[in-house]
Structure 1
């Protein structure tokens, strides 16, 4: 069974928000590594690349963590 909401001190937070925050943290780490190795020198539009990377990480997290209801 999967959680659609998390109880945070009486405030119900959608699971999507939690996934988005986790994806942001992972993406921030990946961006730091890419910047350190100089990958951004070959990227045409850095902001678009970062947004696309975030969407890919978010999709991967949702695909890995989402379980179909039984």
Structure 2
């Protein structure tokens, strides 16, 4: 995987693209978890969402840069 991606003649770091994709994926997972009612048993929903974002972006980064 290249370290930079050309988007509209501007070089963008791959990790930024992965972070945006991770944010979208986290948003989708968050909606699914909210509809299923999982947040009733979570102690701190905001902290859970932040950890979900970090874990999702971390997994995407490991998958690409491995």
In the superposition, the TM-score normalised over structure 1's length comes to 0.88
Which runs of 5 or more structure 2 residues have no equivalent in the other structure?
none
- Over aligned residue pairs, what C-alpha RMSD do you find? 0.9
Which runs of 5 or more structure 1 residues have no equivalent in the other structure?
none
Which structure has more RCO (C-alpha within 8 Å, separation ≥ 6)?
A: 1
- Deviating runs (4+, > 6 A) in structure 1? none
User: How many residue pairs get matched?
Assistant: 66
Larger Rg: 1
Which structure's residues are more often helix, by fraction? Answer: 2
In the superposition, the TM-score normalised over structure 2's length comes to 0.93
